[in-house]
Every structure is written in structure tokens, then in C-alpha cells.
Amino acid sequence: MASAIVNQYKPDFVSPPGDTLQETLECIGMTQAELCDRTGRPRKTISEIINGKAAITPDTALQFEMVLGIPASFWISRETHYREAIARQEEHAILENKITWLSTIPHMAMAQKGWIRKHNDCTEQLQEVLRYFGVASPEAWEEVWMSPLQVAYRRSETFESDPGAIAAWLRKGELEARAVDCQPYNQAIFLKALQDIRALTVEPPSVFQPRMRQLCANAGVAVVFVPELPRTYVCGATKWLTSTKALVQLSLRYKKNDHLWFTFFHEAMHILKHGKKDIFIESNLKSKEAKEAEADALSAEFMIPQSKYDTFARSRSITRQKIKNFARATNIAPGIVVGRLQHERVIPYSQFNDLKISYQWADKN
């Protein structure tokens, strides 16, 4: 039985397929003219293929298979690899003139966190960053990432933040959220989940983190925790990934449980109240925008109802034990009560901070 011909050739992607065709003809002692006669192709076409001026079409590849005994798939693959290599060379030349854009992205910090790979070649690093953002060029990045963020900046007053760092942080959350298996969004289920999550504020991260993620996923909301990048200065963000899947992204900017939980419920209120088109970015700076103010008020009310809070806050003296008792009675973490009292200037920011719980990332990234 004759041995089957297989593609063992590992092409040099910058050499045209015509080089391989010429080598094949020389190896079997066939002239270009004879190949033309056997394939029925004009001599000009064969000459242009050999000289890299014309592409090997699927029809021509099938004819080469019949005449030369080398599978059409080999010739088609060889042509595809060559054209891809040419396109990459052209893209590389274009991107070489856009290297300065890299300075707007904290790519070194991203590489240190393992979000992207580090490359010594600047153009390759630029390509790596563009792949991370899912865009083909710095111009496309401006359109896809900066246009919506400019609105979010005005809303949340994150003026001190670095736009490139914010975009990189948001993209990381988006990528992680893709891996979260969510049911289609259901408002009633989400409201019930928030009630259950509120009771988790007294639990350590090892308990509340997986539980809150699962409760929210069951309601169509992906919750992800993403460490800050330098000059992001954000606590959290909210956006809709699809019409049936929302994202709540949290950092540990202030590393205290009162800030983390207030931010989470603030983002949750955006999902419940503010539609599916906007991106909300929170920095804990006071916002003048109505939706942010509403989310603040709703978050505070959800964690500690105003009627209960007012009664407690008006008490003659606030002591550590009274805070603990009130927190127990309202089924909320004492640190959250302290944070509320401090924010509303009932007690100074220096008081009872020992009742707050500090969080830190499990790894150094």
C-alpha cells in the first residue's frame, strides 16, 4: 500500500508559498510549463504564484493536489499562513508608530499582577495590552473605553483617577465576570438575595464572599473583587454586561468593612433603580449627580433603616457597648454602625474604629 502524504512542512511564515511550489517542481523534475499543461492554469498565473504575486486559491490548490500529490489543505494552509504573516508585519509597522500610547496604560502594574504578559519588545507589549482590552488599535480603545468612561467620570467625580488605570481595572472585572455562571436577571430574586447578604455582614470574608457571589449569581448579577491599580482610586463599579447579566465590581480601597459593604449595597441600588445603559464608578467622593445621591441614600437605608438609626443616634451618649447592642438588634456588623455615625458626624472619625474590621487580599496581587 502506498504511503499517505501528510503535511510535515513547517513553513517560514515570511516566505511565499511559491517558494515551496518551486522547490517541489525542482524535486520531481517538473517544469513550470508542464505544471501549467497538467493543471490547465495559464503560465502567467503559475509564474505569479511562484514569484509571490498571486495567491493560491482553493481551486488551484485542488489542481496542485491532483498533479503533485500534495493535499490541497497543505497549499491552502501555506497560503493562509503567509498572508497572515504579511498582515502581521504590516500591523507591526503601524503599531511601531503608536508606542507612546502605552504610557497611558499601567501595563507594568498589570503584568506584575499577572493580568497580562510582560514583553521586552514595545510593539509586542502594545499588542498584548490591546488584546487585553479586546480592541485592535489605540483609536478603537479610545472609542470603546473612553467614551462611556467620560460620562462616568462626570457622574462620580473621579477626577484624580487615571483613565487608563480605570479602564484596565474595569476590563479585569469584565473578564472575570464572564466566567461567573449567572441565571438571567430577576429583580425579585435579587432583592431577596440582598436581604440574605445583609445578614452576612457579620461574617468573615471566607464565609460571606462565596455566599454573596452565589446569591447574586442566582439573581443574574456577577460579583467580582478586583484589586486596585495605581491611580484608580475607586471603591466599586456597576455595569450591565448583557440585558440579563449585571456586574458589581469591588475593590478594597479603604480596606474596612463599613466602606466595603456600603459600596456593595450602593452598587446594588444602581442595578435596582438606574437602568441598563450607564456605567457607575464610585470613588467615595461626594457626588452632585442625582443617581449617585439616590444610591447613597438607598444603601444607607437598606443597611440601617433611618427610623431605627435616628432613635439610636439621638441617644444621650454613644458607647462601644451601645453600638454593639444596636448592631446585634439590627443584625448588622458593628463597624457599619460606626461608619454611619462617623459619616453623619455623630461621633468623630477617630472614635470606635476598633469595631471596624479590616480586610486584605489573600495574595499580594
Burial 14-45 (b: 16+ CB within 10 A, else e): eebbbbbbeebbeeeeeeeeebbeebebeeeb
- Each residue's pLDDT tens digit, 70-93: 999 999 999 999 999 999 889 999
Give the pLDDT score at 275: 85
- Each residue's pLDDT tens digit, 306-320: 999 999 998 878 999
* Domain assignment of residue 269, yes or no: yes
Report if pTM > 0.85.
Answer: no
Both 175 and 229 in one domain: the answer is yes
* Domain assignment of residue 147, yes or no: no
Cα–Cα distance measured from residue 246 to residue 274, given in angstroms and rounded to the nearest whole number: 12
* Domain assignment of residue 8, yes or no: no
Both 138 and 259 in one domain: the answer is no
- Each residue's pLDDT tens digit, 251-309: 988 789 999 999 999 999 999 999 888 888 887 555 557 888 899 999 999 999 999 99
Both 221 and 248 in one domain: the answer is yes
Q: Which of 295, 339, 344 is nearest to 155 (CA)?
A: 295
Split into its structural domains, the chain has a count of 4
Q: Which of 133, 140, 127, 347 is nearest to 258 (CA)?
A: 347
Give the pLDDT score at 243: 94
Give the pLDDT score at 155: 46
Both 227 and 284 in one domain: the answer is yes
- Each residue's pLDDT tens digit, 159-214: 467 889 999 999 999 999 999 999 999 999 999 999 999 999 999 999 999 999 99
Length of the chain: 365
* Domain assignment of residue 149, yes or no: no
Both 126 and 211 in one domain: the answer is no
Both 331 and 211 in one domain: the answer is no
Both 179 and 287 in one domain: the answer is yes
- Which of 61, 96, 131 is where one domain is finished? 96
Give the pLDDT score at 3: 41
The amino acid that residue 339 corresponds to is: G
Both 226 and 255 in one domain: the answer is yes
Return the residue matching grid coordinates 509597522. 93
Both 26 and 117 in one domain: the answer is no
- Each residue's pLDDT tens digit, 211-250: 999 999 999 999 999 999 988 888 899 999 999 999 999 9
Q: Is residue 148 scored above 80 in pLDDT?
A: no
Q: Alpha-carbon torsion 207, 208, 213, 216, what sign?
A: positive
Contact in structure between 317 and 352 (CB atoms under 8 Å): no
Cα–Cα distance measured from residue 241 to residue 123, given in angstroms and rounded to the nearest whole number: 30
For residue 337, what are the domain limits?
A: 306-355
Return the residue matching grid coordinates 507594568. 108
> Can you read off the three cell numbers belonging to residue 297?
441614600
Higher pLDDT, residue 364 or 67: 67
Both 310 and 229 in one domain: the answer is no
- Each residue's pLDDT tens digit, 116-146: 999 999 999 999 999 999 999 999 999 998 8
> Can you read off the three cell numbers belonging to residue 228?
486596585
* Domain assignment of residue 7, yes or no: no
Both 30 and 80 in one domain: the answer is yes
Cα–Cα distance measured from residue 233 to residue 140, given in angstroms and rounded to the nearest whole number: 25
Helix (H) or strand (E) holding 38: helix 32-39
* Domain assignment of residue 361, yes or no: no
Whole-number average pLDDT of the chain = 89
* Domain assignment of residue 162, yes or no: yes
Residues forming beta bridges with residue 224, ordered by sequence position: 249
Both 86 and 134 in one domain: the answer is no
> Can you read off the three cell numbers belonging to residue 357?
474590621
Q: Is residue 6 scored above 80 in pLDDT?
A: no
What is the CATH classification number for the domain harbouring 83? 1.10.260.40
